Structure 1
Amino acid sequence: MLKKITLISLLWTASIWAGQTIVQGSGTVSHYSVQRAASSISVDGHLDEYAWERATQINQFERILNNYDAVEWPTHAKMLWDDEYFYFAFTCADEDMWAIYDQEDDKLWEEEVVEVFIDPDGDGRNYLELEVSPTNTVVDLLIYSVEPEFRSSVDWDIEGLKTAVQTYGTVNDNSDRDLGWSVEIAIPWSAMAEDITGGQRPTPGTNWRLNLYRIERKAGRQAKMRINEMNEAAQSTRQAIDDLWEHSDAQPGERSALSPQHQNTLAELEAALQALSNANEQYSEETEYNTWSETFQRGFHHPARFGVVNFAP
């Protein structure tokens, strides 16, 4: 425990965020006052501007989906705004930073990321999702709706988006112990005008709904690489199962009508799929899903539980 506290202290000192005010949840969801930037901001991931030093810090993210309240690797965050951008900053304690996906709009949610969801009116329609990995790889999506069906577009882009990451340690090297990583994000108001805000920009006193997330995958890079390999093999496995039933005289599901040889083959194929299922379950169990405004068992896409931010003068 002492070593972990030391790691966290060093990381926060590097990001000059120690000793700031804790923002507590207020009412049914978390609340935050977004201050106007007191100085210009260069998006480089260092978070060393005067504006960030003055911004109120969120010191508590809550764990959701599994092992509630057992946050092992803390996340801190801040927000700012000015006439051109909505700014976000994260610092993430992490002893093993890693990433596999390195292309824009890859499935980053399967790995380690920080995430920003912005739904200004909180209606669960036409809201923004942005994810950034430790290698500064980005995926941005437009979520059209959550209910009655989930609809989204990964082809949608945040035009003019700026992101930067600083790492304190070595990414993709589990032979050492890292301190963690910091992320800086600037989302232009203009990029949200058409699809997210209806052309409106916040003014002092405006309230918006949004949430912040962090996914920490403790199973590590090798575990995810193995799952990816198993997923690729599973495609041919499922096809082999379909072919087996198609070329047998038995009806699908009538295992006893299969020949002994086909029964053995089917059992082997199904065992391979079960191994993949078990690996995915273990990978998820070793994951910390953390959020600023707690969404409980509903997961990330639960706009009714998004926090409230108020834009200060």
Structure 2
Amino acid sequence: MTTALELVQQGHQVEIVARHLPGDIDIEYTSPFAGANWSSFAGPNDLEMQEWDKIGYRKLLELADNVPAASVVRRTYQMLNVKSEPWFKDFVEDYKILTDLPKGIEFGYEYTSVVISVPIYLHFLLQKLISSGVVIHRANLKHIKDAATHFTGGQVDVTVNCSGLLASKLGGVEDKNVFPIKGQVILSRNSCPTMISVAVPGAAKGESLYIFPRKEGGTLIGGSFWPNDWSPKVDKKLFKRTVARAKKYCPELFANGELDVVSVGCGLRPGRKGGARIEKETIPGVGKVVHNYGAAGAGYQNSHGMARKAAALVASSLRESKL
């Protein structure tokens, strides 16, 4: 939806063909389960992802400060038991190294970040698209060429492939580098004043703790990062471990007793070996295509930067068509 909005704002006629839309709940539709905070996954030499993250940070702070309907909010974010200072320490607001650390935590820092209430934000984006005249189609596509059959605006000049995890199965694409990364989260009515992420000492591989308070109250608590796990089932043992970790590192969550659980959910992040794919291609029987998928766990914070790059490739493809 962010890519579509970027294209509309640049003057393109856009229609969306989607298997899932905001309000849907499905293991392969990860967006409603996301923590949706800002914390860069980029390495010190990954300059392109760093640029996407910078764009996302500025845009999300702008929404937090000026667009209440987006349900994006500023929060102090504490990163505990990390190994070193991040590349963005001179870029983000209010960065500082923490000195008063919980027992067993050797190093940590904090800064001003944002967190998104995803059900509200997704509908916010959808309403912006509809208000901009974007037509939405529901369809479960088996092949990328079938997207064009739903287009009501005449000939399709460029097909933009934002199919996420489906890119591993979608005919004409079938990217074998795409794989699921399962995450499990708890939505509670309890509130924690600060965003917290902890590389928990002694935790099993792929497990950590993150606590993200929402603007409207309540908190999302995770989590797991399990590659190649397609299972939709909730892991009850992980649930218990996550609650115990939350109680240790954010006792304020339990000020009124036990955790008041709204739901426990699982989503499959769209991972990709080699990182996100944003590139143009000509596919026989389809025509010009711009791919934009494979953001793994960085979908929300990278969305604006990735959308800008995808839109630039669309513009490039259209210029080539006129030559």
TM-score category by the smaller chain?
A: under 0.3
TM-score normalised per structure 1: 0.23
Higher relative helix content = 2
TM-score normalised per structure 2: 0.22
